Copies of this chain bind each other. A is one copy, B any other.
Amino acid sequence: MSELRQDPTTREWVIMAPERSKRPQQTLRKRQIEVLPDWDKSCPFCPGNEKQTPEAVLVIPDSDGDSGWSVRVVPNLFAALTMEGSDGPLEEGGLNRGMLGLGVHEVIIDNPAHNTTLALMSYRQVEDLLSAYQQRYNVLKKDPRLKFITIFKNHGRESGTSLTHPHSQLVATPIMTPYYHRRFDVAVNYYADTGRCLYCDILTEELEKKVRVLVETGEFIVFHPYASRSSYETWIIPKKHSSSFGLFSEEHRPELAMLLKDILLCLYSGLDNPAYNLMVDTTITEDEDDPYYHWHIRIVPRLSMIAGFEMGSGIYINTRLPEDAVQHMKEIARSLPPDECACLKE
């Protein structure tokens, strides 16, 4: 028997239909990374090819002290938005509202190695990447024309990535994004009713119920949301109320890097390197201290396709209950050598 579950943060619905996991066509992804070279002379993101990209806006040096870099951030050569635009209206008139494509679109090259991925990088390398995310966020938020900054990563073909070399992206827009807008409306109403942050209350409940919590550390809770749209959707969320990723304290970055790497290694090992999207969900740049929102990192494995039903209805079908997926994640972590996924072992 399937279930319909409503996401308390968006009021949208998900169908939980474990029976559908028995459909014949479902296959997990094969490992592709192991057959790649560690350097590709034709790859614009590989060391030595830096001239093939626009000039870097941020370089994090390699901590090993040699002359190399750990993370490079460059303007996207095929930018969806650029700062040459204006935020005034376009003259289409009538019912249609538009504006020139003002904004910023950057590529964050996660690591010099062509054939690595966050799951296989060192904690220190993941920390450098998170530092790059945050540094760029904090530079761009100062521009009053940019209202919202979306940081994300596409891993694997089914995630929509177009280049193999591990990279993330940042898009800053002159508008509040629709996804944030929906969640913000729900969170503000909840705050008006209760005087509390919706996300803080969800965390309290999840810690009481325990069934969807993967791990709790000093600063973070990792859990699978009640109405996950995708099997194994995982959130890393700070325990203390904090609406903006930009204000996240540097001292807790190693803890976040450890969790992020271990979760992704768990997925990599147990689900055979699935494609996934990673998103940093944060508040608008203009009100980083708001009491409504609560920043988090959302990891969404792409184990099924977004098809006509999802597009026509806005309802997603998930074939594995989050309670079961969390148990599976714990089993995977336990099955790994002692030094792998240590923070996810009970």
A interface residues, Cβ below 8 angstroms from B = 1-6, 8, 10-13, 15-17, 19-20, 22-26, 78-82, 84-85, 90, 92, 94-102, 148, 150-154, 158-163, 169, 171, 173-175, 177-182, 198, 201-202, 205, 209, 226-227, 277-281, 298, 300, 304-315, 317
Contact = CB atoms under 8 A, between A and B. Distances in A.
Please give me the 9 A-B residue pairs with the lowest Cβ-Cβ distance, nearest first: A160-B307, A2-B101, A152-B308, A160-B305, A178-B314, A179-B314, A279-B312, A277-B308, A177-B313
B305 A101 contact: no
Contacts of A279: 308, 311-312
A183 to B, nearest CB: 10
Majority secondary structure of chain A interface residues (helix, strand, loop or mixed):
mixed
A92 to B, nearest CB: 7
Contact of A205 (B3, B85, B95): B95
A306 B306 contact: yes
A318 to B, nearest CB: 10
A150 B307 CA distance: 12
Given A8-B96, A148-B313, A152-B309, 6 more contacts: A13-B175, A13-B177, A13-B178, A94-B209, A96-B205, A160-B304
Contacts of A152: 307-309, 311-312
Contacts of A277: 307-308, 311-312
20 contacts: A2-B82, A3-B90, A4-B99, A4-B101, A4-B174, A13-B173, A15-B101, A17-B80, A19-B78, A19-B79, A80-B317, A96-B205, A98-B227, A150-B309, A151-B312, A173-B313, A177-B313, A177-B314, A278-B308, A306-B306
A3 B309 CA distance: 29
A6 B160 contact: no
A138 to B, nearest CB: 18
B163 A5 contact: no
A153 B308 contact: yes
Contacts of A101: 1-4, 15-17
Pick from A163, A198, A307, A314 the residue with the most CB of B within 10 Å. Answer: A307
Contacts of A3: 90, 98-101
